[in-house]
Structure 1
């Protein structure tokens, strides 16, 4: 054992982790970072090992002293995170279910004023889609694993299908725990034992566990009704409301690796079955045919005129291809207008189209912003104007044509006038935090770095969080001598400093270079708070609170690490000794732990006796 290990109390080598409006230029991919963190060095996650870990957690965690302490949520209740689906009870508009990217199944019984997570305690909180039975509104089905191809909740995908027969009070597992993420759940309108599942499959590997799955006995047995290829899953489905043997499935050819992606291809098609999924045919007449034009596809059937079908196509590059309408159950299609819909190069992040339950000409399309058409896709206009960007879901009243709910990356919004005005509901408590921090001078003042919601702060109230910096929020360091000085960062090492307690920030990146981790480390010298450290593949030091940085190390990672959508081959953790500021520990994403004992003049690799894993955190013994 290396002699310098005496000062290490804990080396965190973990397998699982603790807004501004986007510009339309690029969509980021936090799940790449999360996946690589957990899969290094093999490049794969052992699904069976993950399930065993969940079993061990449920078995041993309740026996630990800290697990049994009284815990209470400190929010934020007034800022919400990504919602993937909204379902409204057809018999009671006050009962609403919202699927959260990693916050479970949220239920409201008062139209959205108050919410409770009815999925708490289940082995996964990543929700892809929900469905409420038309014959029994107490019967709710949840498909787990977020099917949107980016988001921070899907390093482990989902764990199959769950059903509740009492409105979410209790759940039972129906199987399909190897299908990765679920794009759509359909419940037969008159027989709850018949379910259809549109499965996208595991995100980061090609598997045969994708396509359409059907059960006729309430989930005891499943049949793979439609299989296309090991890289093509089902992202959306629709069922005829009165002739439920007529089903449509939207297939999406999607290959994702941490360093590249293919979000479309020749097998992205719409399929139709007239016999409950026993036989399927590809629909072609008037729809895109070339591989470059076929990416993610959204599909919707008109509840009031079920011969009318709409399809929303993104192309393989991620932009809008077009919106198409069929009036003969999909046999032939007419291209409609997309004018007025924001066309960003990551339409695969949204990709849904909805038909109003009372009017086959009233449509809704999800995009960076939310859009509606009153004339069957001849013209489009924005609704829910000013809501959080990145829209994913719509829910509708069964009795009031103007009453609707919208789900996006900022939670759930409500409108009583068709989207002309809006209310953002609070209380979902589903923010995805990367990190948290406590003001050392005031333990009531809390900070958090959140996915897609920036850097958040509260002075102690769970209902009074505010966003003090945008982007994706990451590391936060508060000066213990002068807590008005706050250091924060956005993705890929964009460092900022506030000198007024978070009211304003200035960038502090002068002198930094190289490739930075999605979650770039930053550490303060405990003996001199003007001195901080950060890192790309190099270690940097500042002596003036970030105004100027200088490199103080050679590359500390392998030079041949791949670089793709995100940068890897980076520093992941920095820790400065409280006993001697010259002692600094540095962890990397290629499994190396380094120490310098002389403030950066020389470095020693001390990871020889450690397992080769991505190092997420390094902490020394403060005593």
Structure 2
């Protein structure tokens, strides 16, 4: 009885200090786990607290949970020509993956270099163990990362060494001499958001120890393409590319053509170069891709972008435009969108009208309507018959020219040029770019097709190594020609994801093709008739992650070009989450996802430029969230539009375009509560936050550098002056404190303004004064800061090259990556009760870290010779129906470690460490031993009672247990709650 009384007293006193949380990670396994080790072990334990903290933090381990079902962007491939089952794939921002069995399994490589964004990969033809990687994705889209030069591996990718060109930022192409792997050429594209000198073509003759710049135009122009003659390695073709991004998330670069762009040829290994112009467009050129025909290198194909892309010849009758969008319904075409001031609006047509006939020809569906429009030219007048409220009506309509004010009637919606229209563009059509062919080694060129899908983002062309008639142009669709480029079809990639960037065609068998796209990896064995999607790659590019209050909790997030998804943080089964556990929430490019904390089945999501919605996961019902616009007003939404649910009342919904809006009913009835908060014509709000302490306090930030606060619910907004920022920088993240009413953290992202410095600031007075918290952070863009939910001194910071933590509110930072790859962290979700954080990586999907012990790593604890960390509530999970898998091609995420993790730290070595678990009656339930060396240690209890001879018995019952750490004559005890699975 006395022991029970002491136990209850200890329970009460301990809970007053550290209240148990309501939820813990699933404990799924049965075996005890070995203790975690730290660098302190086996070394002199007398180390300063700062180093001890770094040592303890380094022992924490992240667990990947996927998803993999949607893949992620693959930008290049390197295949062993002697063994097509041995190849590497390079991802845009998630490192390198290697397979030796044709994609059945992959080994992640190039994960912990400074930057793991890749522009190109090249395998030495004479030695497949020698691999070169050029860092920095070379596509000029708004969300790309950048690199720190080129790396080399001589052991098949196991280890890597940086070989220089650290200021090249993005890599276009690498070529290696077929016989001498020490001769290497690198096409450096250079900085996307600014000028720099380290651009052009570089050559090394000593394996990368030294570099010579052999082709340079200017500090705005880099090398995007570099091709080596298949039989003469001294002959090279280089495509130079002048491009630039502005600070805003527009669909295209602000500069994609320029006088610096062009095609160059060298026949003396780069000692001299000649600019090639014969047959190419005379206007400023853009991105160019080339590919040699392996069986006859005199034949070369090129894909050329130029300033006149999509234009029509003078005096040409232009394609017709009606100014509508629609769908098929009831044997007619229903108009769903009417373009303002377009032909349809001028003809008094309205949204909802059902078009039945154009110019005497019946219209049975929307496809037929489009065909009727395409049969006409600009200026044609036709009679349109339609139904409005079931009443037949007709009107006269005059078509205008497709292409509108841009003057590009043959252009595509995303800045490219349509296929197979060369006959419509007249004798000067070759001046508008497309597919070109040379039959004399690149000296002269002739256009053979108008096709160029979206030049700045794709610009990849491939010719079957053994058949010059078969060509592929990579774009949103995969385009294939079987007549040497005279015509292309756009369905060669059927049943693959859109947006294709990488292709390898087997030189010995043109039917075998490996294809990389925004949705991962695909392989065909029958020349595109059928495709096999490889779904075991953990390379999702997340922009955001949110969590719900389920048990186990679920995670939700949006991805680059792969929509929004949801799935479990852990499973009840014996294996972790797989691709089958995830489900789609929304389409397009996915961004913010937030679950209603009071109803976890109600999830808010969005796609690009403010297309927001809400889904009921039980019923599947959806509700669009529309922002009203005043007549004549043109709202501007960020690529990633900020929105939030009020922490005071989740029915209150806020979002921001260039103004802030509020709804009192879950997104319905939005009303503006701010003026235009931007400075520029293109500016948008990129950050929005409400104080958890005061519902009247909101902050908003913009991509053109403005930061605002209101302390009266939006009636008045004050523009904040932040003198620590050198000029306009994008406001990326705002985190009002949940502990201090006037405290808020703000993260600025400078890379859009050609500035990679970290900007982390805090205010204690609603923005009147500021303090910098970026003291010991290395150079690299800062993206997001989140405050812990229980420890006001604990912060988490996501940057372009990893994740950091501070236990002293930003005075000092420690890298928290550990086993997490050095990938860009775009968001961090701190779960309110589970003791975990979830990192949204832009390249390696989602990862989870238990921060229960990190919350307790205080300066006082670091000074103690012995510390026993408190843990949160454990759950006796019921288990689930087992999953059955056959074969090895699958991804399985990681569940939390088996059993309860009991953590302690020793400042000095000791003789013996024991951990004893007793029930409320004082009966010994488990007896464990741990490491006696200095450092940070974990011992796992499998939630089973001990049996005779120390063997585990049955699972314990729910209740409260006392866990005691015994070291010499010292004992530290903590109560530990064990509860039944809520389900």
Q: Please give the TM-score of this superposition, normalised by the length of structure 2.
A: 0.53
DSSP-derived class of the 1:63 partner: helix
Partner of 2:549: 440
- Quickly say closer, same or farther: Cα 1:379–1:540, change in 2 above 3 A: closer
Q: CA RMSD of the aligned region, Å?
A: 2.4
Partner of 2:738: 622
Alignment deviations for residues 403-455 of structure 1 (CA, whole Å, 9 cap, x no partner): 11011111111001011110111122111111111112344311111111111
The reply on whether 1:136 has 2:127 as its aligned counterpart is: yes
Partner of 1:227: 216
DSSP-derived class of the 1:484 partner: strand
Partner of 1:376: 484
- In the aligned structure 2, how far is the partner of 1:347 from the partner of 1:608? 39
Partner of 1:520: 641
- In the aligned structure 2, how far is the partner of 1:516 from the partner of 1:310? 40
- In the aligned structure 2, how far is the partner of 1:478 from the partner of 1:257? 34
Partner of 1:600: 714
- In the aligned structure 1, how far is the partner of 2:51 from the partner of 2:149? 24
Partner of 2:685: 570
- Quickly say closer, same or farther: Cα 1:604–1:65, change in 2 above 3 A: farther
- Quickly say closer, same or farther: Cα 1:537–1:361, change in 2 above 3 A: closer
The reply on whether 1:79 has 2:198 as its aligned counterpart is: no
- In the aligned structure 2, how far is the partner of 1:502 from the partner of 1:347? 42
Deviation (angstroms), 1:87: 1.6
- In the aligned structure 2, how far is the partner of 1:609 from the partner of 1:253? 34
1:192-207 equivalent positions in 2, closer than 5 A:
192-207=181-196
- In the aligned structure 2, how far is the partner of 1:242 from the partner of 1:586? 59
| Contact 1:266 1:289 (C-alpha < 8 Å) held by counterparts | no
Deviation (angstroms), 1:182: 1.0
Deviation (angstroms), 1:457: 1.1
User: What is the count of residue pairs matched by the alignment?
Assistant: 550
Alignment deviations for residues 524-564 of structure 1 (CA, whole Å, 9 cap, x no partner): 12332211112233322111111111122344x35x3341x
- In the aligned structure 1, how far is the partner of 2:240 from the partner of 2:618? 50
The reply on whether 1:319 has 2:438 as its aligned counterpart is: no
| Contact 2:686 2:732 (C-alpha < 8 Å) held by counterparts | no
Deviation (angstroms), 1:76: 1.1
Partner of 2:286: 295
| Contact 2:245 2:255 (C-alpha < 8 Å) held by counterparts | yes
Tell me which of 345, 359, 375 is aligned to 2:467: 359
| Contact 2:595 2:604 (C-alpha < 8 Å) held by counterparts | yes
- In the aligned structure 2, how far is the partner of 1:336 from the partner of 1:592? 50
- Quickly say closer, same or farther: Cα 1:419–1:117, change in 2 above 3 A: same
Unaligned runs of 5+ in 1: 1-58
Partner of 1:450: 559
Partner of 2:199: 210
Deviation (angstroms), 1:289: 2.5
| Contact 2:556 2:594 (C-alpha < 8 Å) held by counterparts | no
- In the aligned structure 2, how far is the partner of 1:539 from the partner of 1:62? 42
Alignment deviations for residues 445-495 of structure 1 (CA, whole Å, 9 cap, x no partner): 111111111111113424232332112211122112122211111222222
Deviation (angstroms), 1:606: 6.0
| Contact 2:247 2:704 (C-alpha < 8 Å) held by counterparts | no
- In the aligned structure 1, how far is the partner of 2:231 from the partner of 2:620? 57
- In the aligned structure 1, how far is the partner of 2:52 from the partner of 2:171? 29
| Contact 1:391 1:408 (C-alpha < 8 Å) held by counterparts | yes
DSSP-derived class of the 1:297 partner: strand
Partner of 1:45: none
DSSP-derived class of the 2:609 partner: helix
The reply on whether 1:399 has 2:508 as its aligned counterpart is: yes
- Quickly say closer, same or farther: Cα 1:271–1:621, change in 2 above 3 A: closer
Alignment deviations for residues 120-169 of structure 1 (CA, whole Å, 9 cap, x no partner): 10111111111111111111111111111115222xx2111111111111
Unaligned runs of 5+ in 2: 1-49, 310-414, 418-432, 570-576, 740-983
Partner of 1:15: none
Deviation (angstroms), 1:271: 1.0
- In the aligned structure 2, how far is the partner of 1:363 from the partner of 1:62? 58
Once structures 1 and 2 are overlaid, which stretch shifts more, 411-420 or 374-383?
374-383
The reply on whether 1:425 has 2:534 as its aligned counterpart is: yes
Which of these two proteins has the greater Rg computed from alpha carbons? 2
Q: Please give the TM-score of this superposition, normalised by the length of structure 1.
A: 0.83
| Contact 2:642 2:685 (C-alpha < 8 Å) held by counterparts | no
| Contact 1:486 1:501 (C-alpha < 8 Å) held by counterparts | no
- In the aligned structure 2, how far is the partner of 1:267 from the partner of 1:191? 32
